[in-house]
Structure 1
Amino acid sequence: MSEIQFVYFDLGNILIAFDPKLASANLARITNVTEEKAWDALYASGLEDRYEHGELDGPEFAEQIRHALGVTQHVASDQVILDGISDMFTPIESMVEIVERTRRTVGRIGILSNTCEAHWDWIRRQSWGVSKLQFDVTVLSCRVGAMKPAAEIYASAADQADVPPASILFIDDKQENVDAARRHGWRAYRCLGGEEAGRTLENELNFD
């Protein structure tokens, strides 16, 4: 079995828990519409998906949201909207030690996540321990233009890791993303952040 030389962490439900209902509730409060209307504008419309695919940048996304909800920039500026839809995350702080042990054991680590710039920026601005973790490579769907489990995002991640595929370890909370990683020759496991992720990484990496 190949020695692991690089470990990729998913973001959602691995390092950070999240609740999309909070995002739509925040948007409803900001724009003075019902939560149902905010949910439809944000998720049912496909706008969030397009943003995470990189089809829209932040200002374009915010303008589309305002148009869908019938409000002006005076009511909800770009930054207010982007922060509002991002204020739905909770840190899984037990992952700080796990990530740091992984770095000490393997050397190089990265993020591989389906997310948008607003979410990533908001998380990195928080004072949480997980927000201060440093990664050698950050692969976000919005930057690649493809979302897991699409082949393109794994190809980009593999290029940036710059190690043989069999030397990459990946943990994610969705089985379809794990299966896709395995098709690319990676070692990959489905788990949740915290104790489960810790056990998985300890078993694979033989933490000291």
Structure 2
Amino acid sequence: MSDKPLIVFDIGNVLLRFSQERAGENFDRIEPGAGPVLVRALWETRLGLDLEKGRVAGPEFFRRAARPAGLAMGYAAFCAAFRDIFTPIPENLRLLIRLSKTHSTALLSNTSGIHWRYLLRTYPALQSARWPLASHLLKCMKPNPRIFKLLSKKQVLILRTWFTSMIAPNSFAPPNAWVSKPCATPAASP
């Protein structure tokens, strides 16, 4: 067994910046007024959490969010708009590629099924991680301890796991380890 740590990367705002505002603008371009309704459903409701936890599939989420609001937008248009919310953080993607050559690496992201395959296909650097894990596949979200327990099965000792996230409760390193900020976090572009 290697004495190198398992290095785990979050995707959102670590490897790829994402924007709720951009999602709203995308939805409004398809159907004026749809942005606030769908952004709220995605990020401010139990239904949105259920989508990320894999408890509700994309089509069901869309039906339950769009129909009560009287939206005419189709599911394919919704998915295209919802997928177009990411901007790569190149220096962090390069870091993932570089570390993946010498360490075990993993992705652990609160990500819906609508995004997951799209992200892996669109951003090939993500494929360099040995273990790509997402909340919708694991049926739980960070910071739920169960998701970290599932991750620790990939590495015999959780004490050798380093997890990088922009959200403090989701980040951890071995006890008594000193960790400098490993990821660049450029300011969001205007």
Check whether TM > 0.5: yes
Q: Which runs of 5+ in 1 are unaligned?
A: 197-208
- CA–CA separation in structure 1 for the residues paired with 2:37 and 2:168: 31
Larger fraction in helix: 1
Q: Is the 8 A contact 2:24 2:34 kept in 1?
A: no
1:22 matched residue in structure 2: 22
Q: Who is 2:114 aligned against?
A: 118
Cα RMSD after superposing both structures: 2.8
Which residue pairs with 2:156 in the alignment?
Answer: 163
- Partner amino acid for 1:148? K
From 67, 80, 94, the counterpart of 2:77: 80
Rounded Cα–Cα distance in structure 1 between residues aligned with 2:67 and 2:178: 41
Contact 1:93 1:129 in 2 (8 A): no
Aligned partner of 2:130 in structure 1 is 136
**TM-score normalised by structure 2 residue count:** 0.82
TM (normalized to structure 1)?
0.76
Distance (whole Å) between structure 1 residues aligned to residue 116 and residue 124 of structure 2: 15
The one-letter code sitting in structure 2 at the alignment partner of 1:175 is: A
Query: Aligned-pair distance for 1:148?
Result: 0.7
CA contact (8 A) 1:41 1:69 kept: no
The answer as to whether partners of 1:175 and 1:190 remain within 8 angstroms in 2 is no
Aligned residues, how many?
185
Shift of 1:186: 10
Q: How has the CA–CA distance of structure 1 residues 44 and 95 changed in structure 2, closer, same or farther, with 3 Å as cutoff?
A: closer
- Mean alpha-carbon deviation: is it higher for 95-104 or for 14-23? 95-104
Question: Quick one: distance in 1 between partners of 2:57 and 2:145?
Answer: 22
Q: 1:113 to 1:65 in 2, by over 3 A?
A: same
Structure 2: any 5+ residue segments left out of the alignment?
Answer: none
